[in-house]
Structure 1
Amino acid sequence: MPGILKTWPLWPEFTKQADADVYSQEPSFLRAKKEIIEQYGKDAICQSWLKTCQALESVTQELEQNGADMIPAFEASKVVNEGFTESERERIKNIGCFIVRQVVPEDEARHQYAKFQEYLSANQDDVTGWPADAPSMYRLYDSPTQIAMRTHPNHLKVQQRLNELWHDASGETSPEPLLYSDGIRDRPPLQQFLGLPPHIDAGSLSRWADKTYRNAYHHIFSGNPELHDAYDLKARKDADQYLFPGVAHSRVFRAFQGWTALTPAAPRAGSIMLFPHVRMAVAYVLLRPFFRPPESGDVMDASKWTFAPDEPWFPGTFLQQSQLLSRSSHPHLRLQDCLVASPSMKPGDSVWWHSDMIHAVDTEHLGEENAAAVFIPACPTTPINKEYIKTQKEASLAGRPPPDYVFGAGNLNETLFKGYEGLEGVSEEAKKALGFYS
C-alpha cells in the first residue's frame, strides 16, 4: 500500500548550511548535547543509534505496507463501559494513535457545528484566526460549541480511559481528566494549508535541555532504546515543556492530543496524518542531532554516519516552535511513505495521538464540505497540570484566551461576543475537570 503523499508538499527541509546562524548564536543547543554526552557517553549513544535505525527498517516497512490499517478504531460506548482489553492496550501503546468513534453522538455533533457557524457569523468582525489571509484555525476557546464538546460526559469518561494507559509509581498523579481549553478548526474545501508540516509537540529543545524531561528518555540515550517506556508518567510529569516559551509550546502535559470531528473527515480531505509508531520514531528524533550523514554513499546505512559531538545543529529544532521534521534531515523515517492519513471519521468521532507522535495536517482538502474539528486532548491530573488549569479557569471566566494561547490573541474578550454562554451550565463533573474545586 503506497503512502498517501504521492507528491511531497512544499514543506520546509532542514539543512545545516541554511540553519547555521540559528544554532551558532544560541549556546543552549551545544550545551544540551555536551551534557548528554557527558552523562551517557559516546558508546551508549552510538549503540542506540544503530539499534534504532535497524528497528526502523521493519517499522517503516510495516507502515508502508499497511497504511491506515495500522490505526485501530474503538466504539466510545465500549471504551466508556469496559475500557481496553490487555491486547488492545498493548496495540495502542505500541502504535500510539487510534480512533474512538461516536464520543459525541453524530446528530449532536452536527447540531454543535451549526451552532458554531452561527456564533462565528455573529462575531465575524471580532474573530481572528490563522492563517491570517484565509483563517481556518480560529482563536476561539470558549464558544458554546467548544464548551459543550469538551465537557460532554462521554468525553470526560473517554479521557479518563486514555489517561489510564499511563502509569505512575510515585502516586503523585491521577488519571482523572483535566480539561484543557484549545482552539477550533473550520477549513473550507480546496483550501491549501502548509502551516503544520511533520512535527512533534510538547516542546522542542526542551526534550534535550531540561534534565527532568530528558530523563524520561533515559533508555534511549543509554544504549537501550528497545526498553523505552513511552507511558511512564512518573518520568514525564515534572518535565518542563515550556523551558523555551513560544506560541507552539504547551505548559500542560497532554497524554494524548486529540481532534473531535464536527463534520465528516477523510484522507486527502483536510485530515491529520500520523506516524503510527511512537517509541522508535521519537528515539530516532532524539538521537539524530548526535550524528552527521555520510558525504557520499548510502545515507540509509546508519553505520556510515559519523558521531558529531561538537556540532550545535539540531535539525528541525527551533526554540519557539514544535519539533519539526523533514525528509532530508530525518531520512530513516521515510516520511513520504510512512505518514498515514487518519481513517475516515463521522461527526462525533475522535482521533487521538501520543504526545511524542510525529503528525502533520494534510495540505489538501478535496472533500465537498468544510472539515471542522474541536481540539480536545486527554490530560491527566499532575501537579503542573493542576496549576495550569487554575490559571486557565481564571482566564476563561474573564473571557481571556488560555495562558498557552495569549500570543497573537490581542484584546480578545469572549464574554462580549454575541451568543456567549460561558461555563454556567456545565456539569459538576466538568467543573471539577475545569479546576473549580481544586
Structure 2
Amino acid sequence: MATATAEPEIDVRAAVSAFKRSVEPRRDALRQSFAEVGDHMSRAADAIQADQAAGRSVIPEIDYSDIAAGTVSDETKAAIRRTGCAIVRQVYPETVANDWFAELCDYLDTNHYEEREVEKRSLDKYFSALKAGKPQVFNVYWSKPQVNARQGESLARTRSFLDRLWHYEGVFDPDLQCAYADRVRRRVPGDTTLGLSPHMDAGTVERWIDPGYQGVYEAVFAGDWRSYNPFDGTHRLRTEEIPSPAVASVFRTYQGWTALTRQGPSDGTLKLVPVAEGISYVLLRALQDDVAEDDLCGAAPGRALGVSREWHPEMMECLVSIPEVRPGDTVWWHTDICHAVADEHTGSEYASVIYIGSAPDCPKNRAYLPRQREAFLAGKSAPDFAAMDFEVDFVGRATEADLTDLGRKQMGF
C-alpha cells in the first residue's frame, strides 16, 4: 500500500507529463524562446558584473523620505520593475530598530526560547536540516517588535508605493495590507548553518501544472516570453499552492524584511538575481528536450524551487549580494525572484531581521486572516508555519491591546 507521502509524488509526475504533452505542438517555439531568454540572462549577467566592478548600484535604492514626499523618479520605478527588487532606506529610524532588536533579544532570552526549541526542532521541515547548533531563524511571530514593525505607518506607505508598481485594478487594494506574520532571523557571527542555495518561493511544480499559474505564465508557455509582465496581477489570485511549510498560502507581491542590525555582503545575508524576467528562463528551461518528461529540473512539491548551476548556469551568473543595510532599512523582492542566503556569516555582530513581505488586501488574503487572528490571540504559530506554538505562555507577548487602528485593520479585526 502506498504511503500518504508517496501518493502526491505519483500524481505530480503524471501532471507534469500531461502538461509537457499539452505544449508539445509548441515545442519549436519553446526551444527558440528559451534560447532568447538565455541570451537575455547572459547579457544581464554581463551588465550586473560590469556595474559591480564600477561600484554602481545593482539593486535599486530609495530613501523612504522620497516615498513619503511622492518624489520617487519614473526612472527608479522602471528600475524596480526591471530588477524585481528594491532597498528602501530608513523606513524606521535607526534608534527604533535598535530598540526593537534589544527587546526581541530580551523576549527570546526571558522565555528560554533556545532550550525549548531543541525539543521541537524536528517539526520545522523547512529549516531543520540547516540547523547544526543554535537556531538562527526563530519561530516566533507575536513579539511586540514584530507586531509593531508590521503595523507601522511608514511601512504601510512603503508597501503601498511598491504595490502600485503592479497592474492591480480589480485584483487587490494597494493601499491596505493583510498582515502576514512571519519569523525573525538572528544570525550569530561565524554561523555556517543557515546558508540557503538559490531558489524561488511561492510554489514549485505548481508553476507549471496549476491552472492559475498557467494563466499567470500564459505568454511564457506560448513561446512569447517577451510579452510576459511579472507585475501583472490579473491571474495571481487564482493560483493554488500545494500545502507545505515552505509555501505561503497567501498572495504576496513581494517578500521582504526589515533590518534590526547593520549587515552587508560578508555577514551571511541575502543574495538576489535582480532580473524580473528570470522566472521565464526557469520555466522554459524545464521544457527543453534534455529534461525527462516527468521532471522539471528537480522541482518537487513541498520544497523551495531550486536554481542550480547544473540546470540554470546563466541565471547563477546574475546572483549578487545586497549592499550594506542599516537598522530600519527594508529589502524587497518580487516573489518570482531567485534569491539565496550566504553560507557563512563572517562578520563580528548579529545579523538580524524581521521577515515582513507585502500581502495586499484581496479575497485570497482576507480568507487567511481568521485563522491567523485566532493564532495571534492564543499565541500559537502562524497558520502557514510549523505548529511549534512556543508563544502560548511567553511573557511579554503582544496582545490585541498592542494593535493600533491600522494594525487592527491589517489583522482583520
Please confirm whether the aligned pair reaches a TM-score higher than 0.5, indicating the same fold: yes
- 2:284 equivalent among 283, 287, 307: 287
Q: Which amino acid aligns with 2:322?
A: S
Query: What's 2:214 paired with?
Result: 214
- List per-residue Cα deviations over 1:112-161 (Å, max 9, x = no partner): 10001111110114356652632010010011111111111111111111
Q: Which amino acid aligns with 1:168?
A: Y
Is contact 2:26-2:223 (8 Å) kept?
no
SS of residue matched to 1:254: coil
Query: What's 1:418 paired with?
Result: 395
Is 1:202 paired with 2:202? Answer: yes
How far apart, in 2, do the equivalents of 1:23 and 1:222 lie?
30
Is 1:367 paired with 2:372? Answer: no
How far apart, in 1, do the equivalents of 2:150 and 2:366 lie?
17
- 1:38 equivalent among 22, 29, 37: 22
- 1:266 equivalent among 264, 267, 276: 264
Q: Give aligned pairs, total.
A: 391
Shift of 1:25: 5.7
Query: What's 1:73 paired with?
Result: 61
Query: What's 1:88 paired with?
Result: 76
Is contact 2:82-2:275 (8 Å) kept?
yes
How far apart, in 2, do the equivalents of 1:246 and 1:24 lie?
12
How far apart, in 2, do the equivalents of 1:434 and 1:87 lie?
34
Query: What's 2:124 paired with?
Result: none
Is 1:57 paired with 2:56? Answer: no
Is 1:427 paired with 2:404? Answer: yes
Is contact 2:16-2:293 (8 Å) kept?
no
Q: 1:84 to 1:236 in 2, by over 3 A?
A: farther
Query: What's 1:319 paired with?
Result: 301
Q: Which amino acid aligns with 2:246?
A: A
SS of residue matched to 1:233: coil
Q: 1:144 to 1:283 in 2, by over 3 A?
A: same
SS of residue matched to 1:185: strand
Is 1:29 paired with 2:13? Answer: yes
> What is the root-mean-square deviation of aligned Cα atoms in Å?
2.1
How far apart, in 2, do the equivalents of 1:166 and 1:84 lie?
16
How far apart, in 2, do the equivalents of 1:26 and 1:354 lie?
31
Q: Which shows bigger deviation, 58-67 or 358-367?
A: 58-67
Is contact 1:262-1:348 (8 Å) kept?
yes
Q: TM-score, normalised by structure 1?
A: 0.85
Moved over 3 A (4+): 22-25, 125-130
Is 1:143 paired with 2:143? Answer: yes
Q: 1:48 to 1:435 in 2, by over 3 A?
A: same
- List per-residue Cα deviations over 1:338-368 (Å, max 9, x = no partner): 2110110000001110100000001121111
Shift of 1:31: 2.4
SS of residue matched to 2:326: coil
How far apart, in 2, do the equivalents of 1:415 and 1:292 lie?
52
How far apart, in 2, do the equivalents of 1:236 and 1:24 lie?
23
Shift of 1:194: 4.7
Q: How does 1:119-158 map to 2 (within 5 A)?
A: 119-124=107-112, 125-127=115-117, 130=127, 131=131, 133-158=133-158
Shift of 1:278: 1.6
Q: Which amino acid aligns with 1:61?
A: D
How far apart, in 2, do the equivalents of 1:223 and 1:63 lie?
26
- List per-residue Cα deviations over 1:256-285 (Å, max 9, x = no partner): 110111010100212100000021x11111
Q: TM-score, normalised by structure 2?
A: 0.89
Query: What's 1:10 paired with?
Result: none
How far apart, in 2, do the equivalents of 1:318 and 1:69 lie?
35
How far apart, in 2, do the equivalents of 1:73 and 1:44 lie?
37
How far apart, in 2, do the equivalents of 1:327 and 1:23 lie?
30
Is contact 1:23-1:312 (8 Å) kept?
no
- List per-residue Cα deviations over 1:288-342 (Å, max 9, x = no partner): 112245xxxxxxxxxxxxxx5x621212311110101111121232x1x321101
Q: Which shows bigger deviation, 130-139 or 225-234?
A: 130-139
Q: 1:209 to 1:326 in 2, by over 3 A?
A: same
Q: How does 1:164-313 map to 2 (within 5 A)?
A: 164-169=164-169, 171-175=170-174, 176-240=176-240, 242=241, 244-279=242-277, 281-293=278-290, 311-313=293-295
Shift of 1:383: 1.1
Is contact 1:141-1:183 (8 Å) kept?
yes
Shift of 1:249: 0.6
How far apart, in 1, do the equivalents of 2:298 and 2:407 lie?
38
Shift of 1:238: 1.8
How far apart, in 2, do the equivalents of 1:322 and 1:435 lie?
29
Is contact 2:44-2:318 (8 Å) kept?
no
SS of residue matched to 1:41: helix
How far apart, in 2, do the equivalents of 1:214 and 1:62 lie?
31
Shift of 1:172: 4.1
Q: Which shows bigger deviation, 124-133 or 260-269?
A: 124-133
Percent of residue pairs identical: 31
Q: How does 1:404-415 map to 2 (within 5 A)?
A: 404-405=384-385, 407=386, 409-410=387-388, 412-415=389-392
Q: 1:35 to 1:432 in 2, by over 3 A?
A: same
